[in-house]
A and B are shown apart, each in its own frame.
Chain A
Amino acid sequence: MSELEDQFEELEIEALPLDAWHRAKGGRMVEFAGYHMPVQYEGIIAEHLWTREHAGLFDVSHMGQLQLSGDGVDAAVEALLPIDLSTLKLGMQRYSLLLDEDGGILDDLMVSRWPDSLYVVVNGATKWDDIAHLREHLPDEVTLNHLDDRALLALQGPEAFAALERHVSGEWPLSALTFMRFGKFMLGGAEVSISRSGYTGEDGFEISLPADAAELIAELLCGEPEVKPIGLGARDSLRLEAGLPLYGHDLGPGTSPIEAGLNFAINKRRRSEGEFLGADRVLSELAEGAPRKWVGLTLEGRQAARECAEVFAGSEKVGVLTSGGFSPSLEKPIAAAYVALAQAAPGTALEIEVRGKRLAATVTSLPFVPHRYHR
């Protein structure tokens, strides 16, 4: 056997607040984004299907939680992100992108309007670079706080609401939150910030909480009959089925928002005004289209194709997979790739080369599995 641990090697890495808790729950720990994290507990397929049917608790404390405040914070942030903060009211959250001068994607992130600040959640693997980029580009009047004393949990799945509602109290009922809204609540004796969002395609919540309350709250939620802890493996298969791109794989400095199909992240006012890093390329691709597009692929048979596998139309190489794996919900392999525009229409027959063999694949509309957000 080879490559038993090919994607997740053990290195010198840090422990997150729930490290001991994951181990006690039987989590198999791997290195991810500089931390020990659980790749699975009982098994990726079982955890994946449990989340689609019930509710899964994901520890995403590796992600960066940042708070930006100070005079002119909105204008300063708008100079870096293609977001319209004038329409982001208190209690709202929005997906946005950190772009470089060339319109490449430095990170994808969530921005929320807190009473006197903006709260930003960025990817774990990129957080240190993001912080450096923000510090370099933001004016002195804007203060950046890295909220590294907070943990982040995601509770995802159709039964997430029922399980969480039993434990929260606050000014508003939990039902006041619809997709991409957030509020402050009490949970397990701690003050937490809860947003109705996630990265599985399911209804669900992301809970920012004090790190020292993480174990108590994780235990509280997993004590509910609907909830099991879920590892990184299922998090990846769930997000791919939901057609959600993963930074560092599907998105990076070499990809633009328009190629990636993230046009919605370029807010309306910013399309006419521009004036954000990378605007030249982004606005020109919005007007004229990008030469290639990020598409879904459904494979025939059961053999999966993975990231970096080459995609062909006849003898011509037309792209490279950025993600790929077996879909537990669809019980077949799925993948995603940037392909030339001529091959991007759903229904286009392509081939993917795996170990010298060509596997038949068809371009498929994203998401593979419909979203079930609570709007």
Chain B
Amino acid sequence: MPLYYTQDHEWIDVDGDTGTVGITDYAQGQLGDITFVELPEPGATLKKGDAPCVVDSVKAASDVYAPVSGTVTEANAALEGEPELVNTDPESGGWLFRLTLSNTSELGGLMDRAAYDEYVAGL
């Protein structure tokens, strides 16, 4: 399943027209201890660049942007009790939400892992 990354440090794991979205290990490291995650409701319609999700760390609240457009199908319920999963397992168990992509061609504007790693190295 191909993984894509944004310049705003989201990742999206795509399987057909379904995508799972989270934030990268670099992002969680920058944010520090995460204490709360506000998740989108299933059924919510997102445009690429919308901010359906907020990650609260001890110091700040940060928007998470939709890497692509689509309809939310599921939010990670485990984060309600354990928001720290975003710190400990950001690129797997700490996923944020799933969506059905409405325009898979938007993936073309995203980075692959190698490009993202290079991008982060330059920050």
Contact = CB atoms under 8 A, between A and B. Distances in A.
Contact of B30 (A5, A7, A43): A5
Contacts of A3: 60-63
Contact of A1 (B32, B58, B62): B62
Given A44-B58, A306-B61, A355-B54, A1 B36 contact: no
Nearest to A6: B60
Contacts of B58: 44-45, 233, 237, 325-326, 328
A303 B53 CA distance: 12
B33 A1 contact: no
Contacts of A6: 60, 62
Given A1-B9, A4-B30, A4-B31, A326 B60 contact: no
B112 interface: no
Interface residues of A, number: 26
B109 to A, nearest CB: 17
A137 B117 CA distance: 57
* Residue from the set B9, B35, B54 with the largest chain A CB neighbour count within 10 Å: B35
Nearest to A2: B63
Contacts of A304: 35-36, 56, 61
Given A1-B8, A1-B65, A39 B31 contact: no
Interface string B53-87: 01110111111110000000000000000010000
B32 A302 contact: no
Contacts of A1: 8-10, 23, 27, 31, 55, 62-65
A302 B30 contact: no
A43 B33 contact: yes
Contacts of B55: 1
A326 B8 CA distance: 24
A285 B54 CA distance: 42
B33 A44 contact: yes
Contact of A303 (B23, B51, B56): B56
Main SS at interface, chain A:
loop
Given A303-B36, A304-B35, A326 B56 contact: yes
Interface residues of B, number: 25
Contacts, number: 74
A261 B83 CA distance: 35
A123 interface: no
B59 A303 contact: no
B13 interface: no
A40 interface: yes
Contacts of B25: none
A372 B31 CA distance: 31
Interface string B1-23: 00000001110000000000001
A261 B47 CA distance: 48
A302 B35 contact: yes
* Residue from the set B38, B59, B60, B62 with the largest chain A CB neighbour count within 10 Å: B59
A52 to B, nearest CB: 14
A301 B60 CA distance: 17
Contact of A39 (B27, B35, B36, B59): B59
A232 to B, nearest CB: 9
A159 to B, nearest CB: 23
A2 B83 contact: no
Contacts of B36: 301-304, 326, 333
A37 to B, nearest CB: 14
A4 B64 CA distance: 11
B56 A44 contact: no
Given A1-B8, A303-B36, A304-B35, A7 B27 contact: no
21 contacts: A1-B8, A1-B27, A1-B63, A2-B65, A3-B60, A4-B60, A7-B60, A40-B32, A43-B32, A43-B33, A44-B59, A46-B33, A302-B56, A302-B83, A303-B38, A304-B56, A325-B58, A326-B56, A328-B58, A333-B35, A354-B61
Interface of A: 1-7, 39-40, 43-46, 233, 237, 301-304, 306, 325-326, 328, 333, 354-355
Given A1-B65, A4-B27, A4-B31, 14 more contacts: A1-B23, A1-B64, A2-B51, A4-B9, A6-B60, A7-B60, A43-B32, A301-B36, A302-B83, A304-B56, A304-B61, A306-B60, A354-B61, A355-B61
